[in-house]
Amino acid sequence: MPREIITLQVGQCGNQIGTEFWGRLIAEHGIGPDGIVKEFATEGTDRKDVFFYQADDQHYIPRALLIDLEPRVINSLQESEFKNLWNPENVYIDSQGGGAGNNWAVGYTHATEKYEHIMDMIDREDNSDSLEGFVLTHSIAGGTGSGFGSHMLEQLTDRYPKKIIQTYSVFPNDSERSSVVVHPYNSVLALKRLILNADAVVVIDNTSLHRIADERLQLDFASFKETNSIISTVMAASTTTLRYPGYMNNDLVGLIASLVPTPRAHFLMTSFTPLVIKGAQRRIQKTSVLDVMRRLLQPKNIMVSCGTKKGVYVSILDIIRGDVDPTDIHKSLQRIREKKIVNFIPWGPASIQVALSKQSPYANVPYRVSGCMMANHSNLGNLFARIIRTYDILRKRNAFLNVYKETPVFSENLDEFEDAKETITNLIEEYKAIQTSDYINWGMKQQQSQISQKESSSLANENGNGANNKPGKSAMAL
C-alpha cells in the first residue's frame, strides 16, 4: 500500500522549486500537464498515489498546498501549462498580497493569524488511506518561506506528532551575492525550527548551486529557473525508491532512518550525477556504476558548500537508477573501500548503503545510469557556524532590528534571537562531538544534563521562585 506524502510549497522559492519538481514527476509517471495519463503510459509498476490522488474523472492531482503572501509566483503558475494540474482549493495567497518584506517575523505573524485556515486545508487533504508525512519546500533567507514555514513546522509537529516531516531547505549565499540584507536574522530564526520540528532537512545552499551551474553546466550566471531545476532533479531522484519501489527504502520512514541515527543531527547533503538540465550544455560520457558512485562523493558535485575532505560521514545512501547489475554495486563498493575515499564516524557502521531503482520508462534521459547521494556529514556544522558568524556581525551593531520590533513576536524583547542562536550553537557542538569515538557517552551526558535542568526548573516553579524559568531549547530538541 502506498504511503502518501503531502507537499507544502511555501513562499516564492518554495513554489518555484515545487513547480519544477511536479514537472519532473508528471514526466516520470507519464502524466500530462492537465493530470491525464498519456496513452503510451501503460507501465503499472510505479506508485503514483504517493504524491498524487485521482479525481472522479480519473485525472491525477498533486497532494500539494501552494502558499504565498504575495500573488506573483502562484498567479504565474495558474496561467502556465500546469494551470489545470493543481487543486484550486489547495492554493493560499494572502488577501492583501503585500508579501512578508523579507522579514521572518512578518511571515511568522501572518501564519499565526491564518494557521487554522491552512490547517483546514491540510486536514482536508489528509483523506488518504495511509498518510506518512509531509515534505516542505522553502527558503530560509526571505520572509514567507522562513517565517510562515517556521510556524507551519511547529503546527505540523503539534497536529501530526507521529508523521514524518522532511524539508528541502534552500540556504542563502555565504557571500555578498545575497539580495536579502537581513538573511542572517531570518536564517537563524528558521534554522531553530528546522532543528526542533523536522525529522530530516535536505540542505541546499545557493553558493553551491551557482558553483555547480558555473563549473558543471557552463552557465555564466544561472537563473532561478535553472538553479531550481537542479534542486528538483535531486528531489525527484531522492524520492525514486518511494515511487518506483524496490527491496529497500520504500517509504519515508525507512529512507530517513538509514540516514539519521541521532534525532538532532538530521541535516543531509546531496549530490547528483550526471546532471542535465534544459538550457545547459550536455557533456555526458559513458556512465558506469563505479564512475557514478565515485562522482557522487566528489566535493565539487555536493550541493552544500562545507567540504567533505575533513570531518567524517555519519551515513551515506546512494540511490542508483538504471539498468544495473547488483554485482557491479558490490565491486564498486569494494573499490571505494580499498582506496579509502570515505572517512566514517568511529562509533558506527562504516559502509555506504545502496538502493537500486529502475529508470522511468517515460522519461527520456541521455544516460544509462544515474545516481543521487544523500549523506549526513559532520562538516554540516561548519555551515551553521558560518550562519552564526554572519548573524553576530549584524546583531552586534543592532542593525535593522526596528523592522522586527514592529511585529508581535519581538514587540516586548529580542529574546527569540538569542534563543535561536543557543539552539544552533548546541547543534554545532553536537556535530563536533559526532566526530569523536566518545560521542555516545557525550550524548548521554547531554541528555542527563537537560533532564537535571528540567527538574531544577520544575522545583523552582513549585517553590514560587522561578515562575518564568523554562527548560533550555536543547532539552526541547531531545
Which CATH number belongs to the domain containing residue 269 in this structure?
3.40.50.1440
Please check if 371 is assigned to a binding site: no
Q: Give the mean pLDDT of 375-404.
A: 95
Please check if 142 is assigned to a binding site: yes
Q: Are residues 350 and 478 in the same domain?
A: no
Number of domains in the chain: 2
Confirm whether 456 is domain-assigned: yes
The model's pLDDT over 312-344, given as tens digits with 9 standing for 90+, comes to 999 999 999 988 999 999 999 999 999 989 999
Residue 453 has a pLDDT of 58
Confirm whether 255 is domain-assigned: yes
Confirm whether 419 is domain-assigned: no
Residue 472 has a pLDDT of 35
pLDDT above 70 covers a percentage of the chain that reads 89
Confidence bin at 60 (pLDDT 50/70/90): very high
Please check if 262 is assigned to a binding site: no
- Mean pLDDT value across the chain: 88
Q: Are residues 202 and 349 in the same domain?
A: yes
Please check if 246 is assigned to a binding site: no
Nearest in space to 15 (alpha carbons), one of 84, 82, 111: 82
Please check if 44 is assigned to a binding site: no
Q: Are residues 99 and 206 in the same domain?
A: yes
Host domain of residue 476: 445-478
User: In this structure, which amino acid lies at residue 206?
Assistant: N
Q: In terms of pLDDT, which residue wins out, 218 or 343?
A: 343
- 384 grid coordinates: 551553521
Q: Are residues 177 and 49 in the same domain?
A: yes
Confirm whether 389 is domain-assigned: no
Q: Are residues 376 and 451 in the same domain?
A: no
Confirm whether 105 is domain-assigned: yes
Residue 175 has a pLDDT of 58
Q: Are residues 53 and 195 in the same domain?
A: yes
Confidence bin at 176 (pLDDT 50/70/90): very low
Distances 145 to 139, 247, 343, 380, 414 between C-alpha atoms, Å: 5, 35, 35, 21, 21
Q: Are residues 357 and 461 in the same domain?
A: no
- How far apart CA 261 and CA 418 sit, in angstroms, is 28
Strand order in the sheet with 4-10: 91-93, 64-68, 4-10, 131-139, 164-171, 200-205, 267-273, 369-377, 313-322, 353-357
Which of 348, 380, 412 is the last residue in one of the domains?
380
Please check if 145 is assigned to a binding site: yes
Q: Are residues 460 and 340 in the same domain?
A: no
Confirm whether 76 is domain-assigned: yes
Confirm whether 217 is domain-assigned: yes
Identify the helix (H) or strand (E) that includes residue 417: helix 415-433
Which of 380, 403, 425 is the last residue in one of the domains?
380
The model's pLDDT over 281-314, given as tens digits with 9 standing for 90+, comes to 556 567 889 999 999 999 999 999 988 889 999 9
Confirm whether 430 is domain-assigned: no
pLDDT exceeds 50 at position 470: no
pLDDT exceeds 90 at position 365: no
- 368 grid coordinates: 544509462
Please check if 144 is assigned to a binding site: yes
Q: Are residues 470 and 342 in the same domain?
A: no
The model's pLDDT over 131-168, given as tens digits with 9 standing for 90+, comes to 999 999 999 999 999 999 999 999 999 999 999 999 99
Q: Are residues 342 and 461 in the same domain?
A: no
Q: What is the b/e burial string over 135-162, where b = at least 16 CB atoms within 10 angstroms of the residue's CB?
A: bbbbbbbbbbbbbbbbbbbbbbbeebee
pLDDT exceeds 50 at position 466: no
Q: Are residues 266 and 357 in the same domain?
A: yes
Q: Give the mean pLDDT of 424-436.
A: 95
Which of 351, 380, 409 is the last residue in one of the domains?
380
Q: What stretches of 298-413 show up as alpha helix (H) in DSSP?
A: 326-338, 380-396, 402-405
The model's pLDDT over 33-58, given as tens digits with 9 standing for 90+, comes to 999 999 888 777 789 999 999 998 88
Q: Are residues 249 and 341 in the same domain?
A: yes
pLDDT exceeds 70 at position 211: yes
Residue 224 has a pLDDT of 80
- 52 grid coordinates: 498524487
